[in-house]
């Protein structure tokens, strides 16, 4: 089993718990972890555990509960164990749990940690082991029981063969407990089984095509999505991971008795294995799918934003020269090459966003069409526009492509061409579909809208500076380098040559507000309640991009939570832009951000700094406020 002292110690075991309910039990055991320096933020960890409990309760029918959390609040992997003589109910109507394992796992836990931990928790399926644990008088007795090597017997010569698939949303405990429960039940019933686990360390023990062909049926006990294409034509039983732990023999019996349905449709579609609660509306599931697909695209896009943004930022800061056309890096210079690499990252980030949104909905067949759709969306030349639709167009392209491909996979294709459907037919038709939509349906209105917006700004240029500042600020903050921001930028740049640099001066104040505001918001979120860990890390990159006037640094935040981030960016940009007009700030180069203050392109650098700082603070405050309101509502 390995050295369990890496996870357990007598100081992490309480043989007589005082808690009377689930929350109090988690609090009591979390205090042990905190005192032993396993946790750096107890409140944040407890919140993560309770969020996991809200998804699916972690109590088992054998009197064991396995609450767990995987979080940046955890410094090292550990388990706190509590024994409750009276028992604690983890969900209404359930039997009380007498043995509670509170598992703490850091986000960066390695494979060895998780494998050893799964070995410890798998002992909880042993009835004799549970009896010993319940009667233990000292922490050392519990350590001794869990340290005992488990005896295994081989199930030889069984002709009946099954395949299992297990997985839970965290992938720390239940995934491996369900796998062990299925294996143990199969052994007792005289059949062979191979169980694929989808845990934190990735997918293991994947069955081969030959094994799938040989298998009598498939048992999927998982709370995660499962690739179902490979099981076409086989008996398939689907259940939650908790059912896989509590009732493995019933699941196996359904296959052996021929009562499991044949999986016949949806080709490569990934099917969620979680049984939907009767009271949960379909709209809630659709909302979860929408958010999950969106975040899938954002998570794959972030590295491209960071690489592209930081390389361009460094190249501009070190090798850029101020000109009326903006900060220009001399052709053929070293920094020009670095900037070109960064530009490649920026060019790819929009197709990546669209592609992986589509992938989350329609699986592999949707990936290429989604990326092609994102490329077309971001390239206005396809539909006669002066600029592409940016990340908003990519989101639209991703969802349209994903759901179109998902629909196509439900069609009944002739048997002869079925092998070509997911790798050739659907990708080609999907690509043509999204290209047609953008070029012939969406493209013309976008081009007309950009022309109208430019004309509107021209008509407003002789009027109120405050009203113009509000308009340019709203456009700049809305899409961060997208079509609205580009129209405002082209309008301001055109007026520099006409001797009116005040328009560029005002917009230069608004350009860095979105990324700087997101960087400040992630810094102020000290308890990590409002931003995901990758967003918090991305805040540092957004800071660097904002300092050199790259507004795209805020795109991952806006794509991940548009209803909170985009309004905040717009309001903050309005503040900065309007203040720029009121203070009479001018900018002689077509660029923005603090870097133009340092390079001397702005007439009032100190006032410019105040404008940017004010917009940044307003953006951060509005964003945090909106996110907190959303958190309370949920």
Annotated catalytic residues are 68, 168
Query: Residue 138: helix, strand or coil by DSSP?
Result: coil
Q: Could you give the C-alpha distances from 138 to 3, 17, 133, 148, 518, in angstroms and in order? A: 20, 13, 10, 16, 50
Q: Could you give the C-alpha distances from 253 to 54, 154, 185, in angstroms and in order? A: 30, 20, 10
Listed as own residue / partner, the contacts of 182-185 with beta carbons closer than 8 Å and 24 or more positions apart are 182/219, 182/221, 182/244, 182/248, 182/251, 182/252, 184/125, 184/248, 185/248, 185/249, 185/252
Contacts of 180 (CB under 8 A, 6+ apart): 122, 125
Nearest to 269 by CA among 225, 239, 206: 225
Contacts of 514 (CB under 8 A, 6+ apart): 476, 477, 480, 546, 551, 553, 554, 558, 569, 572, 573, 619
Q: Count CB atoms within 10 A of the CB of residue 526.
A: 9
Question: d(Cα 523, Cα 532) in Å, to the nearest integer?
Answer: 12
Sign of the alpha-carbon dihedral angle for 14, 20, 23, 27? negative
Taking 3-state DSSP, the helix, strand and coil percentages for the chain, each rounded to the nearest 5, stand at 60, 10, 25
Largest CA distance in the chain: 89
- Report which secondary-structure segment, H or E, holds 202: strand 202-204
Query: Residue 204: helix, strand or coil by DSSP?
Result: strand
Contacts of 218 (CB under 8 A, 6+ apart): 162, 163, 164, 165, 212, 231, 234, 235, 236, 237, 255, 263
Question: d(Cα 86, Cα 19) in Å, to the nearest integer?
Answer: 10
Nearest to 530 by CA among 69, 30, 38, 44: 44
Q: Is 277 exposed, middle or buried (0-12, 13-18, 19+ CB in 10 A)?
A: exposed
The answer to whether 240 and 223 are in contact (CB under 8 A) is yes
* Alpha-carbon dihedral 10, 13, 17, 22, rounded to 10 degrees: 160
- b/e map 310-339, b = 16+ CB within 10 Å: bbbbbbbbebbebeeebbbbeeeeebeebb
The answer to whether 183 and 195 are in contact (CB under 8 A) is yes
Query: Residue 205: helix, strand or coil by DSSP?
Result: coil
Q: 89 φ, ψ to 5°?
A: -85, 120
């Amino acid at each position: 089993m390995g050295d369990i002292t890496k996870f357990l110690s007598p100081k992490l075991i309480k043989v007589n718990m005082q808690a009377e309910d689930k929350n109090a039990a988690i609090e009591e055991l979390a205090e042990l972890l905190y005192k032993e320096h396993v946790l750096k933020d107890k409140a944040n960890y407890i919140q993560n555990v309770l969020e996991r409990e809200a998804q699916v309760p972690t109590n088992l029918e054998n009197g064991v509960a396995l609450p767990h959390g995987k979080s940046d609040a955890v410094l090292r992997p550990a388990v706190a164990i509590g024994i409750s003589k009276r028992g604690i109910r983890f969900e209404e109507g359930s039997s009380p749990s007498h043995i509670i394992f509170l598992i703490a796992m850091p986000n960066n836990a390695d494979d060895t940690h998780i494998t050893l931990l799964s070995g410890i928790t798998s002992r909880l399926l042993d009835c004799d082991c549970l009896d010993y644990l319940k009667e233990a008088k000292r922490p050392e007795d519990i350590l001794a029981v869990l340290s005992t090597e488990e005896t295994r017997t081989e199930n030889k010569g069984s002709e009946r063969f099954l395949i299992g698939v297990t997985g839970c949303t965290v992938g720390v405990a239940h995934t491996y407990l369900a796998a062990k429960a299925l294996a143990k039940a199969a052994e007792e019933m005289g059949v062979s089984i191979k169980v694929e686990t989808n845990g934190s360390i990735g997918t293991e023990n994947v069955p081969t095509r030959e094994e799938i062909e040989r298998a009598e049926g498939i048992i999927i006990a998982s709370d995660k999505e499962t690739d179902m294409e490979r099981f076409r034509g086989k008996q398939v039983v689907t259940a939650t991971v908790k059912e896989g732990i509590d009732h493995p023999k019933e699941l196996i019996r359904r296959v052996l008795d021929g009562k499991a349905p044949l999986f016949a449709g949806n080709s490569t579609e990934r099917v969620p294995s979680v049984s939907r609660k009767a009271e949960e509306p379909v709209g809630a599931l659709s909302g979860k799918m929408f958010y999950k697909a969106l975040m899938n695209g954002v998570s794959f896009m972030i590295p491209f934003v960071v690489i592209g943004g930081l390389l361009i930022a460094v190249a501009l800061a070190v090798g850029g020269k101020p000109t009326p056309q903006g900060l220009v890096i001399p052709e053929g210079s070293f920094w020009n090459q670095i900037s070109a690499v960064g530009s490649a990252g920026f060019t790819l980030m929009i197709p990546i966003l669209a592609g992986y949104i589509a992938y989350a909905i329609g699986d592999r067949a949707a990936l290429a069409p989604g990326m092609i759709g994102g490329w077309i969306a971001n390239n206005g030349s396809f539909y006669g526009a002066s600029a592409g639709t940016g990340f908003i167009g990519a989101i639209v392209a991703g969802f349209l492509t994903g759901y179109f491909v998902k629909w196509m996979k439900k069609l009944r294709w002739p048997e002869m061409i079925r092998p070509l459907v997911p790798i050739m037919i659907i990708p080609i038709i999907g690509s043509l579909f999204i290209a047609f939509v953008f070029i012939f349906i969406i493209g013309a209105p976008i081009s007309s809208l950009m022309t109208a917006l430019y004309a509107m700004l021209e008509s407003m240029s002789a009027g109120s500076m405050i009203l113009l500042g509000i308009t340019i600020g709203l456009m700049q903050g809305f899409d961060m380098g997208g079509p609205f921001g580009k129209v405002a930028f082209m309008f301001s740049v055109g007026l520099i040559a006409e001797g009116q640099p005040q328009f560029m001066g005002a917009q230069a104040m608004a350009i860095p507000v979105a990324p700087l505001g997101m960087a400040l918001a992630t810094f102020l979120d000290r308890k990590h309640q409002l931003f995901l860990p990758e967003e918090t890390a991305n805040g540092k990159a957004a800071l660097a991009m904002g300092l050199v006037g790259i507004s795209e640094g805020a795109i991952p935040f806006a794509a991940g939570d548009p209803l909170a981030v985009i309004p905040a960016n717009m309001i903050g940009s309005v503040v900065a832009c309007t203040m720029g007009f009121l203070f009479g700030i001018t900018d002689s180069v077509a660029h923005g951000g603090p870097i133009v203050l340092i390079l001397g392109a702005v007439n009032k650098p100190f006032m410019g700094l105040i404008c940017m700082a004010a917009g940044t603070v307003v953006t951060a405050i509005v964003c945090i406020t909106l996110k907190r309101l959303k958190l309370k509502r949920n």
